Each structure stands twice: as structure tokens, then as C-alpha cells.
């Protein structure tokens, strides 16, 4: 969250706005108003799931807001080498230098690293782990790479990153696989046992040969193949659990949401809270960080956690309805394209 430089007079103008009653912000919003959020899924056709999110962009020309691009890509890995039985998730955040022109490349690296750590520690926690990331138990599994690119930062970058991550994960489809096992054919001495796919040995047409591929028994599956399917795969499990974050900026004694860059410079203390709303349970706190220096008490923190949950729930509901709309819109588009063929 690099802040632009701001003069003392501007800082005190913004802070005085929060102290007045009723509290007034620079652009006239209420304390808990978000700027308009625009979301589109399926923006990267080569990725397994993707989303582009912007907060506060000018409706007319699309510029000037916080813009984040998120995409997931699935790779196969061996469990013995790097993988984890049941799959794993790795999150990375890259900041485009155009988003932070005043930072040196070292400072940009540090910023990227900090954002990556927060995102990765939260999303790769076992409590959120989806259960369809394994392929062959103890042998092969999916590695889900979630890559976020920050294209522009006009304040409130963490909320944008988490929302985009949730949208991309919602949109992710895992290719369907089927385990295969290669059995030694009867009568073949010293034939190839287990292991490699593809080679079916010599095809003696005279002999009554049974196929070397027995796809029904998967206990000793040694490899897998992609099934032939018409869609991009099955949806990543646990869609409802992916969390979103809410950043509460804390000018004493109130708090406000969705800060713009000057507001962030004027109010350095903020609390980052990440909530997940599983469908039939009470909400969970998935991560909490305090950023910036200032005075806090446990009582205040408790209030913030409670209030934050309310805001996060509203944001969650709005995001969900938009994601469902996007699903419908893209299915519609696909159907139209198919009909036109």
C-alpha cells in the first residue's frame, strides 16, 4: 500500500472531516460506502479460472481506480517430489510497476512479497482446502497456482485482491481425470509392469488379447488420463468457503471502509480482517492483521471484529450475486455462439 505524498494541510483536512459530526469524506461518501466495484470473470481464456476486478474506476472511460487481475492455473505434480497428497494451493501477487511508479524495484519487490504472504497464508490454510485437487492418491495431485496482478492502485488494494481471488477461484474448473492401471497381459513373459502409459506393447492381432488398460480397478492406479468431456471440468470444491477481506481504516475514534489514496496517507492505521461465510455455519475469521502504527485496545478490536463481520457479509452477498450473474451471462454467450455455428 504505497502512499502518495500529501501535505500536512491536506492530511488535517481529511482527518478533521472524520471528526466532524456527521463525518464527511473527501468525495462525499458515507463512512461505510464502497466505491463502485466492477467485476468480470473468464477474462483469461487460457487459465482455468480468472477474474478482473476494479474498485472506483470512472464509469465513463474505465480509468482511475484500483484494478486487479486474478487467474488460476492447474499443474500436475508428483506427490513424492513437491506435491502434497490431496493437492496444494500456491498464491502469488505481482505488482505492475505502472501501478506504483514512485517505488524503486526493491521496494516494489518488498510490497509484492508482503501481499503474497498475506494472501498465501490465508488461502492455503487447510481449513479452506478443496477436496477435488487430488488425482491419484499418493502419486499425483493438482497444484493450483493463483496469480494476482495489481494493475493500478487507487486505495483499498487488499479488499480488491481478496475479492478477485475469490472470483477467480469460484470460476475455476478442474479438468476431469480418470485413473488408469496397466496390467501385465497373460502369456507375456517379463512384460512391462505398471508404470508407463501409452505403449500397448506389440499388437498381435492373431492372439486373443485383452486390453492392457483396465480402467475399472483403480486401487493400484499408476497413471491417469483426461476424460473426454464437453465442458472445462468440474467446479473447484469449496466455492462457498473462499473468504473475502474487509479493511477498516482507523482514524480515532471511528472507522471507515474503502479508503482512497489520500485517505490512506492521512490515516495510516488499519485493520485487515478476512472472513469466510460457509453456507450453513456461523462465519469464521480466516485472518486478521493490524497494519500501521497507532493506539488500539482489546475492546476496540472486539468492536471492529463484530462490525467488520457485518460489512463483510454485505460485501459477500453482493459479490455472490454478481458471480452468479456472470455465470449465467457466460453460459448465455456460449450458447449463442454455439447456435450461430
Partner 1 sequence: MDLDNEELLEEGGSRLTFPGETLTSSQAYMRGHGTYVDNEEVIASVAGTIERVNKLVTVRAIRTRYNPEVGDLVVGRITEVVQPRRWKVDANSRQDAVLMLSSVNLPGGVQRRKLESDELQMRNFFEEGDLLVAEVQAFFSDGAMSLHTRSLKYGKLRNGQLVAVPPILVRRLKSHFLTLPCGVDLILGLNGYIWVSKHVKESEQEGEEGFDAEAVYSNQNDDIDESTRTAISRVTNIIRVLSSHFIPMSDMLLLEAYEWTVDQEGNAKDLLQEDFGEALIASINTR
Partner 2 sequence: MAQTGFDRRRINGPDESFPPIFEVDEHQNSWTIGQPRSGRKPTDIRPIFLQAGLINRANGSAYIETQRTKIACAVYGPRQSKNVAFNEKGRVNVEVKFAPFSCQRRRAPMRDAEDRSIATAIQQAITSSVRLELLPKSTIDICINIIESDGIEGCVASGSVAASTALAGAGIEVIGLVVACSACVIGNEVWLDPSEEEARASSGVLVLSCMPALESVTSVWQSGQMKADDVFSCMEACQTRCVDVHSVVAQALLESI
Which region among 68-76, 183-191, 302-310, 321-329 touches partner 2 (by CB under 8 A)?
A: 302-310
Task: State the sign of the Cα–Cα–Cα–Cα dihedral 209, 212, 215, 217.
Answer: positive
SS3 at position 289: strand
Tell me the per-residue interface mask from 244 to 273 with partner 2, x by CB under 8 A, - otherwise.
---------------------------x--
Which region among 35-43, 73-81, 133-141, 290-298 touches partner 2 (by CB under 8 A)?
A: 290-298
# residues near partner 1 by CB under 8 A? 30
Told to check if 33 binds partner 1 by CB under 8 A, we report yes
Strands 234-235 and 134-136: unpaired
Interacting residue with partner 2 among 184, 288, 320, 330 (CB under 8 A) = 288
| Partners of residue 127 on adjacent β-strands | none
User: How many Å apart are CA 229 and CA 247, to the nearest integer?
Assistant: 42
Tell me the per-residue interface mask from 125 to 144 with partner 2, x by CB under 8 A, - otherwise.
x-xx----------------
Nearest to 182 by CA among 234, 209, 217: 217
Tell me the per-residue interface mask from 242 to 281 with partner 1, x by CB under 8 A, - otherwise.
--------------------x-------------------
Tell me the CA distances in angstroms from 44 to 71, 112, 127, 157, 257, one per residue in order. 7, 22, 28, 21, 30
Residues with Cβ within 8 Å of residue 162, at least 6 apart in sequence:
119, 122, 243, 244, 245, 274
User: How many Å apart are CA 243 and CA 125, to the nearest integer?
Assistant: 11
Told to check if 317 binds partner 1 by CB under 8 A, we report no
Q: Write out the residues near partner 1 by the rule CB under 8 A.
A: 5-10, 12-14, 16-17, 20, 22, 24-30, 33, 35-36, 58-61, 63-64, 262
Q: Write out the residues near partner 2 by the rule CB under 8 A.
A: 110, 113-114, 117, 121-122, 125, 127-128, 271, 276, 282-291, 293-298, 301-302, 305-306, 309
Amino acid at each position: 500500500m504505497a502512499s502518495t505524498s500529501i501535505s500536512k494541510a491536506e492530511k488535517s483536512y481529511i482527518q478533521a472531516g472524520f471528526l466532524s459530526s456527521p463525518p464527511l469524506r473527501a468525495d462525499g461518501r458515507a463512512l461505510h460506502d464502497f466505491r463502485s466495484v466492477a467485476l468480470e470473470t473468464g477474462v483469461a481464456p487460457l487459465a482455468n479460472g480468472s477474474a478482473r476486478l476494479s474498485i472506483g474506476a470512472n464509469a465513463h472511460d474505465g480509468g482511475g481506480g484500483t484494478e486487479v487481475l486474478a487467474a488460476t492455473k492447474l499443474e500436475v505434480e508428483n506427490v513424492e517430489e513437491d506435491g502434497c497428497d490431496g493437492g496444494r494451493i500456491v498464491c502469488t501477487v505481482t505488482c505492475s510497476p505502472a501501478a506504483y511508479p514512485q517505488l524503486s524495484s526493491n521496494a516494489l519487490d518488498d510490497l509484492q512479497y508482503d501481499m503474497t504472504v498475506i494472501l498465501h497464508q490465508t488461502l492455503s490454510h487447510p481449513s479452506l482446502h478443496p477436496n477435488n485437487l487430488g488425482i491419484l492418491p499418493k502419486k499425483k495431485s493438482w497444484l493450483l497456482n493463483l496469480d494476482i496482478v495489481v494493475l493500478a492502485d487507487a486505495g483499498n488494494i487488499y479488499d480488491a485482491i481478496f475479492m478477485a481471488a475469490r472470483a477467480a477461484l469460484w470460476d475455476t474448473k478442474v479438468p476431469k481425470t480418470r485413473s488408469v492401471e496397466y496390467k501385465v497381459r497373460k502369456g507375456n513373459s517379463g512384460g512391462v509392469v505398471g508404470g508407463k502409459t501409452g505403449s500397448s506393447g506389440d499388437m498381435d492381432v492373431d492372439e486373443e488379447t485383452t486390453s492392457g488398460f483396465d480402467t475399472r480397478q483403480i486401487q493400484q492406479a499408476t497413471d491417469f488420463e483426461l476424460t473426454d468431456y464437453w465442458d472445462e471440468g468440474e467446479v473447484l470444491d469449496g466455492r462457498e468457503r473462499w473468504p473475502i477481506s474487509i479493511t477498516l481504516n482507523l482514524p480515532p475514534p471511528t472507522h471507515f471502509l474503502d479508503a482512497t489514496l489520500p485517505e490512506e496517507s492521512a490515516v495510516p492505521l488499519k485493520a485487515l480482517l478476512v472472513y469466510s461465510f460457509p453456507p450453513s455455519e456461523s462465519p469464521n475469521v480466516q485472518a486478521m492483521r493490524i497494519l500501521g502504527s497507532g493506539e488500539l485496545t482489546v475492546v476496540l478490536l472486539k468492536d471492529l471484529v463484530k462490525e467488520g463481520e457485518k460489512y463483510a457479509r454485505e460485501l459477500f452477498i453482493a459479490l455472490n450475486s454478481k458471480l452468479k450473474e456472470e455465470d449465467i451471462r457466460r453460459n448465455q454467450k456460449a450458447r449463442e455462439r454455439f447456435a450461430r455455428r
